[in-house]
Amino acid sequence: MSTTLFNLQREHLAHLQRAYSDILTDHGFDSLAIYSGHALPHFADDQSPTFQTYGHFMHWVGLADVQHSWLVIQPGKRPQLYLYAPADFWHLPTHLPEEPWVAEFDVQLSSHKITPPLPGRAAMIGDIQRLTTGTQQAVAAEHQPGALVNALDELRMFKTPYEIACLREANRLAIAGHQAAQAAFIGASGELDIQLAYLGASRQRESNVPYQNIIGLNDHAGVLHYQHYDLQTPKQRHSLLVDAGRRFRGYCADITRTYAGPDAPSAFSSLITAMHGLKDELVQSVSPGVKFIALHEQMHLRLGEILIAHNLFKGSSDEAVNTGVTRAFCPHGLGHSLGLQVHDVAGLRHPDASPAPAPELHPALRLTRTLKPGMVVTIEPGLYFIPMLLAPLREMSLPLNWPLIDALTPCGGIRIEDNVAITENGFDNLTP
Ligand code: GLY
Ligand code: MN
Ligand code: MN
């Protein structure tokens, strides 16, 4: 790892130290314990599902699989890391990497599960419901105080240069996977083999992905969070949608690409090109002061124009938006905040933590904020042929080209997704 990244990480930790001191003081707390969380085994079994460290713990310690451990933060004091490291000959013993950030913490390895001592008025955050009641009560602390958690969420909305560097590297690694997935598709692989090609080229095992990779051939490309990997290659190859990421030091990439196959109508390739153009246009519109809801509405207006230009709709773009046509073709939001979680925290709140819910017409929008420097968002316009959503439009006398829609339905849909940092003057597209 480069010295530059380690130096950025040291500055990131110093920033957290200052910000947490201010936030704890503002909320009248002398100490805060952050629980890493832990996985629970499946019912009546001794096997556990994949685990992910609590985001506020990862904000300090960028390890995505730390369990049964604690961080204690006190204003003006060095952070204390109580790392669970049992004497265990079944597994590789827990150890910290030999990296400079470790020296910024007072580290205590503990062979048994503990609750840390908390001086003064104390708060405790994390999945403490999973701790035994006795453990929860062993420490006199306020559990999950809402105002404090909101303030810490708000801090996560604004990424430090270290975090942006990590997100950029996560993107670089993920793109290698996307290139391999495209090559596998050209080589007529099925969904499972495309997934395996992606994992191999992005150098990760399946349990490390930040979200389940979406790898949909043909109509599966129109299932927004398609969750299977067919073993066989379908006879006809219309399309491939790959929405797949990578973690780097805790930080997530979330990238989508769509490809036309040899059996797609030519209109599908041309729609993919148009959607790349729309993604680029929306990325270029990212800058401080822009309201994300307005950008989402811009996407709908432009989707209307794309439908018209491709002979799918014969009215005006305003008409396509106002009659709900564009919402049937794109039922999800333009994007979301991105960081230690794929759908990162505080997207639906104002800076003062009051709720900023999604608009009634766009309930799936996950970000309603005004963009500011330091935020990182996804820009992911989509255009899908989802029979369930298009069916109600058939009942209305709208100027839609149903024969062409029916011809494109086996292609499922298109999504193009990049990860974009907001800078002082505009944007920085982190997706190569
Ligand atoms: N991969 C999930 C999303 O794009 O939001
Ligand atoms: Mn995605
Ligand atoms: Mn996304």
Question: Which ligand has the nearest atom to the CA of 227?
Answer: 1
Using a 10 angstrom Cβ sphere, with 0-12 exposed, 13-18 middle and 19 or more buried, the burial of residue 408 is buried
d(CA 293, CA 300): 11
Cα 378 to ligand 3 centre (Å):
6
Quote the distance between the C-alpha of residue 84 and its chain's center: 28
Ligand 1 neighbours by CB, cut-off 6 Å = 211, 243, 254, 336, 342, 380, 417
Question: From the alpha carbon of 335, which atom of ligand 1 is closest?
Answer: 5
Residue to mutate (ligand 1; options 171, 198, 214; most atoms within 8 A of CB): 214
The reported pLDDT for the residue numbered 133 is: 72
Confirm if 8 and 100 have CB atoms less than 8 A apart.
Answer: no
The reported pLDDT for the residue numbered 302 is: 98
Confirm if 376 and 171 have CB atoms less than 8 A apart.
Answer: no
Question: From the alpha carbon of 254, which atom of ligand 1 is closest?
Answer: 1
Q: Which residues surround ligand 3, an ion (CB under 5 A)?
A: 254, 378
Rg (Cα) of the chain, in Å, rounded? 23
Question: From the alpha carbon of 245, which atom of ligand 1 is closest?
Answer: 1
Q: pTM score, two decimals?
A: 0.97
Question: From the alpha carbon of 214, which atom of ligand 1 is closest?
Answer: 1
* Sign of torsion over alpha carbons 102, 108, 114, 120: negative
Question: From the alpha carbon of 415, which atom of ligand 1 is closest?
Answer: 4
Q: CA distances (Å), 253 to each of 42, 113, 202, 341, in order?
A: 29, 33, 11, 10
Q: Which residues surround ligand 2, an ion (CB under 5 A)?
A: 243, 254, 256, 417
Cα 267 to ligand 2 centre (Å):
24
Cα 180 to ligand 3 centre (Å):
20
d(CA 143, CA 9): 29
Residue listed under structure tokens 């316009």: 381
Residue to mutate (ligand 1; options 198, 215, 223, 256; most atoms within 8 A of CB): 256
Q: Which amino acid is at 342?
A: V
Q: Which residues neighbour 360 within 8 Å (Cβ) at sequence distance 6 or greater? A: none
Question: From the alpha carbon of 380, which atom of ligand 1 is closest?
Answer: 4
Nearest CA to ligand 1 atom 3: 254
Q: What is the enclosing helix (H) or strand (E) of 414?
A: strand 413-415
d(CA 410, CA 386): 10
Cα 26 to ligand 3 centre (Å):
34
Q: Which residues neighbour 82 within 8 Å (Cβ) at sequence distance 6 or greater? A: 69, 70, 71, 72, 108, 110, 114, 116
Cα 118 to ligand 3 centre (Å):
38
Nearest CA to ligand 1 atom 4: 254
Residue to mutate (ligand 1; options 417, 418, 419; most atoms within 8 A of CB): 417
Question: Which ligand has the nearest atom to the CA of 379?
Answer: 3
Question: Which ligand has the nearest atom to the CA of 225?
Answer: 1
Residue listed under structure tokens 């919402």: 327
Domain architecture of the chain: domains with CATH: 3-156 (3.40.350.10), 161-429 (3.90.230.10)
Beta sheet of 251-260, edge-to-edge order: 214-217, 239-248, 251-260
Q: Point out the residues of the chain with pLDDT beneath 50.
A: none
Strands (E) located in 47-167: 70-73, 80-84, 106-110, 122-125, 142-143
Residue to mutate (ligand 1; options 241, 243, 252; most atoms within 8 A of CB): 243
Confirm if 109 and 85 have CB atoms less than 8 A apart.
Answer: yes
One DSSP character per residue, 193-258 reads HHHHHHHHHTT--GGG-SS--EEEEGGGGGSTT-----SSPPSS--EEEEEEEEEETTEEEEEEEE
Per-residue burial over 99-131, b if 16 or more Cβ lie within 10 Å, else e, is eebeebbeeeebeebebbebeeebbbbbebeeb
d(CA 313, CA 398): 8
The reported pLDDT for the residue numbered 64 is: 96
Question: From the alpha carbon of 366, which atom of ligand 1 is closest?
Answer: 5
Cα 401 to ligand 1 centre (Å):
29
Structure tokens at 13: 């930790």
Question: From the alpha carbon of 332, which atom of ligand 1 is closest?
Answer: 5
Cα 187 to ligand 2 centre (Å):
24
Cα 417 to ligand 2 centre (Å):
6
